[in-house]
Structure formats: C-alpha cells, structure tokens
Amino acid sequence: MKYNRILLKLSGESLLGKKEFGIDSNVLEQFAREIKQIVDLGIQVAVVIGGGNIFRGVKGVQDGLVDRAQGDYMGMLATVINSMALQGALEKSGVKTRLLSAIKMEQICEPFIRRRAIRHLEKGRIVIFGAGTGNPYFTTDTAASLRAVEIQADVIIKGTRVDGIYTSDPEKNPDAKKFDSISFDEVYNRGLGVMDLTAITLCRENKLPIIVFDINKEGNLLKLLKGENIGTLVEN
C-alpha cells in the first residue's frame, strides 16, 4: 500500500443522504463498511467529520441567531454528534474505535492528546477527532489538516459529492474539466475551493498531499487506496 496512515475528511452534509436534516442511517452504514475494508488491509485510519447536517456556525450568524464564536462552538458540538454516530456504526461493523474531542466531554469521549491518538492508531483502532480544533473561526477542513500533520498522516483523503477537482463547479458547468493532479500553487492561483485557505496552507507548508474523491460511490475508497486513479491529487 502506498499509504500507511491516512486522515479521512468527511463533510457533515455527506451524512444527509436523502434527508433534508440529520443523519441517514444507510449512508452511515455505507461509510462504516468502506472504512472497515481499508482497516482490514492494515491501514491506520483517522477521521474528521463536519457538522453541517446539524448546524453550521456561519449560517447561524447569517440568520442573526448567534455571533460567530457562539455559532462555531455550536457547530463543534454538531461534529461530536456525527462522530458518535459514526463511532457507533463502525463498532457495530466490528472495528475498534476511539473518539477524541478538542473540547472536554469526559463522559462521552477522550480529550485530544497527540501521543495518545498516535498510540491508538498504532494499535489498529480507528481514531475519530471531534469538535474541530476546539477554537472558533476555524473550519473542520483546518481541523483535518492540523490533526493530519500532528499524527504524521501520509495523506488527507477528502470525501465529497464530486469525483475530484474541476476547473469550475461541475454541478453548474457541464464543460468543467477534471484534474487528475494539481499543485497547491495552482489551487491558489485558480481560486479553487478544495479546502479553505488556512487548511490548504497548512498542508502545503508541511508537504501533506490531499486527495479529493467521490465518497458516495461505494467502493471508491478501497480502489483509491489500492492505487487506482480515483479523484484528484493535490501536492507540492
């Protein structure tokens, strides 16, 4: 295998499935199956999942509900709910997991401690990182980049609704062309929304590649890690 340790980034919206709000149990079970397949190959897996299917801090601010910091903390709690749901589905499929949170919640998850997270991975446990970075004004993309750097992951694999990175939004522009690979510099120059700029900069400075792929197509994750040309690779 090309990668020994990966960080899988999932959006909260990916859990919606056919629902307008919350978590689709069928999607959750699919993700658990996909992740178990790669763990069975001996790959160490960490996961960061967003909370947009439950609450988005930015949306709360736009609606005048809360200020940005308060909204972001609410979003962090939403990520913990999603993380707990994924943890339950993974353990039901027969794999061992640990949920580590950037915000202390002793009754439901361990606090994030870098060395402990790495030790869990070395023991073959799936590590799920909840509550983002624990700070407002940072996205879960940035949290994924930060945690990936901290645990010395070989790559960030970002699951999305599209099968890679395009010259423009393929859902809006049928003439958009897909990249098989692209540099961080070109992502900057073209203004492509792969991740937010903080996350991209962190990956670029630490020479951490990103692969963007379609998570909704079952079997894609396994194919990608077996070396098939799936998605788009972003690297220095």
CATH of residue 182's domain is 3.40.1160.10
In a domain, 148, yes or no: no
Residue 37's Cα: distance from chain center in Å? Answer: 17
pLDDT tens, residue by residue, 9-31: 999 999 998 888 899 999 999 99
For residues 28 and 117, membership in a common domain is answered with yes
Query: How far apart, in whole angstroms, are the C-alpha atoms of residue 142 and residue 127?
Result: 17
**Amino acid symbol at 166:** Y
In a domain, 1, yes or no: no
Mean pLDDT across the chain = 93
For residues 163 and 130, membership in a common domain is answered with no
pLDDT tens, residue by residue, 130-166: 999 999 999 999 999 999 999 999 999 999 888 999 9
Q: Is the pTM of this model over 0.75?
A: yes
> Worst-scoring range by mean pLDDT, 57-61, 65-69, 106-110, 223-227?
57-61
Query: How far apart, in whole angstroms, are the C-alpha atoms of residue 222 and residue 40?
Result: 11
Whether the pLDDT of residue 114 is over 80: the answer is yes
Mean pLDDT within 187-195: 89
Structural domain total, the chain: 2
Domain range enclosing 97 = 12-136
Confidence of residue 91 (pLDDT cuts 50, 70, 90): very high
Report the share of the chain in percent with pLDDT over 70.
99
The pLDDT, as a whole number, for residue 98 is: 98
In a domain, 60, yes or no: yes
For residues 179 and 67, membership in a common domain is answered with no
Query: Contact at 8 Å (CB) between 140 and 51?
Result: yes
> Is the sign of the CA dihedral 63, 197, 21, 56 positive or negative?
negative
In a domain, 28, yes or no: yes
For residues 78 and 17, membership in a common domain is answered with yes
For residues 89 and 28, membership in a common domain is answered with yes
